[in-house]
Structure 1
């Protein structure tokens, strides 16, 4: 007998002038967990198996494509007609579209920043926060000399202004995504699994060039940086022990600011949870999201 949790399939949900593609796993009556992705990454990186395990733990798991990723509304590469404030509104719109009053928010990298902004700007919509691969004051990080800088291999990547691949060339785009993921990953990295995920990303994405460009050039809006003192819900911090962008002390500092528990993920870099740590991640998120009241 098939015991896998139910899946909604792809749903197109309105958010302002955009449509956001989302998918839900599990029973709508269970506590909701909204997975918020990082910059330039579609919901495919929250792998099916991870979502299924969370749903099997009694959670209604929702993942979605950020604007300019996957099947969500895309804008011309180099000209995103939205700000981070709109990305925050999109997360709330996904909850609205699914009839979810409040959810536990799990955000990775830029998604951790968005999760904090939802909790601060939309009181009552966040039941808890799980912040993965982040740093104090969101993805930009503070000017704090006690926190180690990103590793040189990543500095070289960000400094490289050379031409990228032809993002319309499927084979070239897939290999570029694999190599891009590899440089951010820790020792827990599966090349063939990354290639399979990258193929799904390419096949689902409206405009790969927009995905790879627009989140990095968003104009600043007038929203202040998240302030931990204003977050009134429980916080859990997950952080890879081999994160080359925000080394582990960043996760420790972030947990300290919230008075949160830090869970190191062995061998993990600046990457979505790989399968070897799913048992740990699911257990921690399930325990953290056990309460259902704000």
Structure 2
């Protein structure tokens, strides 16, 4: 892992594969660890140069004040576009997961010449906040159970890891994988500030940034081969959100994983990588 300067900020990145292979750029959701090691390694073995990176206020990327972010969605879009150029690629396969999938959609729309393929995982076509009437919103029962739990001491690594594991089944995820990932995220958090730890673990900073203007009405403009991956057990962005993306993006294919919730499971790495490599 290292960091590179792009669009005036430092972005934490990790590389897999050979530098002269076609680039797959994976936007964190918000942490790069949203993309499992096994998937990155499988893509690299398939002849791709894989770069996963942290969004701002996360991991090794520039962190200032995640409770009051001084940037918006279009700044994150500019980060992704600048990163392609800094990495020396003429075009890339862009992947976004969760909130990173929102960044990826707008980036592909605003910079179509930079991207040859697009993968969207567990995301939706509207920003955090009020959902469109035709899209399924968060499962209120599950969200009530998730957010009513006592928060951990964010500066206690073991407590944070256990908090993640205990919430994993509610979110349709693997508790062991969630525990291990949360511990790794904690290790990479660049501050002892509890607010920074919470932002790294829960991606709450994204709900505080300005995501206007809307982009859903522009999805028909995408002329990029697109893979939409969604978990049938996702209570946060229920599967209807993935179905809508696949319906509204002209060259999209939908891959629904029955045992997936909000997180890509290690066990699905080969299936997802195979589908991505086919774009």
Query: Normalising by structure 2, what TM-score?
Result: 0.87
Question: Mean alpha-carbon deviation: is it higher for 252-261 or for 19-28?
Answer: 252-261
Instruction: Name 1:33's counterpart in structure 2.
Output: 24
Q: Is the 8 A contact 2:146 2:170 kept in 1?
A: no
| The one of 178, 200, 206 aligned to 1:194 | 178
Measure the CA separation in 1 of the matches of 2:22 and 2:104.
17
Q: Does residue 1:281 correspond to 2:268, yes or no?
A: no
Q: Deviations over 1:234-261 (max 9, x none)?
A: 1221111111122222222221111321
Deviation at 1:138, TM superposition (A): 5.2
| The one of 158, 166, 187 aligned to 1:171 | 158
Give matches, 1:45-60, under 5 Å.
Answer: 45-60=34-49
Note closer, same or farther for the CA distance 1:82–1:181 as it changes in structure 2 (3 Å cut).
farther
Measure the CA separation in 1 of the matches of 2:246 and 2:225.
11
Measure the CA separation in 1 of the matches of 2:180 and 2:147.
28
Instruction: Name 1:248's counterpart in structure 2.
Output: 239
Aligned residues: 270
Deviation at 1:263, TM superposition (A): 1.0
Give matches, 1:1-294, under 5 Å.
Answer: 10-38=1-29, 41-137=30-126, 142-145=131-134, 147-156=135-144, 160=148, 164-186=151-173, 189=174, 191-206=175-190, 207-211=196-200, 212=202, 213-218=204-209, 220=210, 222-226=212-216, 227-259=218-250, 260-271=252-263, 273-288=264-279
Deviation at 1:100, TM superposition (A): 1.6
Q: Secondary structure, in 3 states, of the residue corresponding to 1:19?
A: strand
Q: Is the 8 A contact 1:109 1:134 kept in 2?
A: yes
Q: Tell me, which stretches of 5 or more residues in structure 1 are unaligned?
A: 1-9, 289-294
Note closer, same or farther for the CA distance 1:24–1:174 as it changes in structure 2 (3 Å cut).
same
Instruction: Name 1:291's counterpart in structure 2.
Output: none
Note closer, same or farther for the CA distance 1:210–1:193 as it changes in structure 2 (3 Å cut).
closer
Q: Is the 8 A contact 1:112 1:138 kept in 2?
A: no
After superposition, the CA RMSD in angstroms is 2.2
Q: Deviations over 1:55-90 (max 9, x none)?
A: 001111110111111111112241212111111122
Q: Is the 8 A contact 1:153 1:183 kept in 2?
A: no
Q: Which segments of structure 1 move beyond 4 Å, counting only runs of 4 or more?
A: 138-142, 157-160
Q: Secondary structure, in 3 states, of the residue corresponding to 1:55?
A: helix
Q: Deviations over 1:207-233 (max 9, x none)?
A: 313434422212x25544241122121
Measure the CA separation in 2 of the matches of 1:126 and 1:87.
16
Q: Deviations over 1:31-57 (max 9, x none)?
A: 21111122xx41123122221111001
